[in-house]
Amino acid sequence: MIVIGIDLSGPSNHKDTVLTVFETQGAQLTFCKLIRNVSDLMILNEVKQQSDSDQIVVGIDAPLSYQDGGGDRESDRQLRKFIISLGMKSGSIMAPTFNRMVYLSLRGIKLSREIERLQTTNRISIVEVHPGAVIGARLPQIEIERTLTYKQNIEERRYLKAWFYKQGILGLPNHIEEESHMIDSVAAALGAWHWRDPAFQPQWIYPANEPLHPYDFCC
């Protein structure tokens, strides 16, 4: 199985969009490639190329639906409660239609549907992922503060690179700690892996509720 983690930014901000590709090998996830400054077409081409050889799971860090009428989805409310219970701050969970989120939501919704339309010989599964919650739900409680500082602190990102290895993620490149977007892309892959692989399970999940919310949301 191929696992792809995508830290998505808004449609005009390709430079902060990062895609990482991994391959499952037993109980481990082995790094294959990392692509920065990624457009929608680059994402679709990469997913299509990878799906020619194996089944694919794609974890996307972006809203993949919005609440009809605006405001929080029920999944947003439930995830906010969950991360607060871990000792994390609630501010990283914002409604998809919030001013700061709406363009990211637009890109996530559009891209996920385009991935669904790809004609491939292997199955493609998509899940919405919150990378900060993926990390926070697996860190020891005493280290939860790292989720609040890793985006600004390279030393915390170096710690997380080593921590990913303990989670079974092998072969990460030396420069992975340079930007938080790269760390978030790896965390998105970790969450998607545990969601899809029957040997694992997500730490939190809100099931899809079609037709308006067609994808699971997990961490």
Cα separation of 194 and 44, whole Å? Answer: 23
For 67, half-sphere exposure in the C-beta direction (CA atoms, 13 angstrom radius) is 15
Number of domains in the chain: 1
Tell me the mean pLDDT in the region 141-160: 92
7, containing H or E segment: strand 2-7
Q: What is the pLDDT of residue 53?
A: 86
pLDDT tens for each residue of 17-47: 999 999 999 899 999 999 999 999 999 999 9
Cα separation of 196 and 134, whole Å? Answer: 14
Evaluate if residue 122 carries a pLDDT over 80. no
Tell me the mean pLDDT in the region 118-140: 92
Tell me the mean pLDDT in the region 137-151: 91
Q: What is the pLDDT of residue 142?
A: 87
Tell me the mean pLDDT in the region 155-176: 95
How confident is residue 63, by pLDDT bands cut at 50, 70 and 90? Answer: very high
Domain span at residue 128? 2-218
Cα separation of 43 and 93, whole Å? Answer: 25
- pTM value? 0.95
Closest CA to 186 of 1, 3, 2, 28: 3
Residues 6+ apart with CB under 8 A from 79: 93, 130, 133, 204, 206, 217, 219
Q: What is the pLDDT of residue 12?
A: 81
Residue 57 phi/psi, 5-degree rounding, is -125, 130
Q: What is the DSSP letter of 4?
A: E
pLDDT tens for each residue of 195-206: 999 999 999 999
Residues 6+ apart with CB under 8 A from 71: 95, 97
Evaluate if residue 75 carries a pLDDT over 90. yes
CB 27: neighbour CB atoms within 10 A? 9
> Any long-range contacts for 85-89 (C-beta under 8 Å, 24+ apart)?
86/133, 86/136, 86/137, 86/141, 86/144, 87/136, 87/141, 87/144, 87/145, 88/132, 88/133, 88/136, 88/144, 88/147, 88/148, 89/148
Tell me the mean pLDDT in the region 1-5: 97
> Hey, what are 76's tokens?
């947003």
Tell me the mean pLDDT in the region 85-109: 92
Evaluate if residue 121 carries a pLDDT over 90. no
Q: What pairing do the DSSP bridges indicate for beta strands 28-36 and 2-7?
A: unpaired
- What percent of the chain shows pLDDT beyond 70? 100
Q: What is the pLDDT of residue 141?
A: 87
100-105-111 Cα angle (round to 5):
145
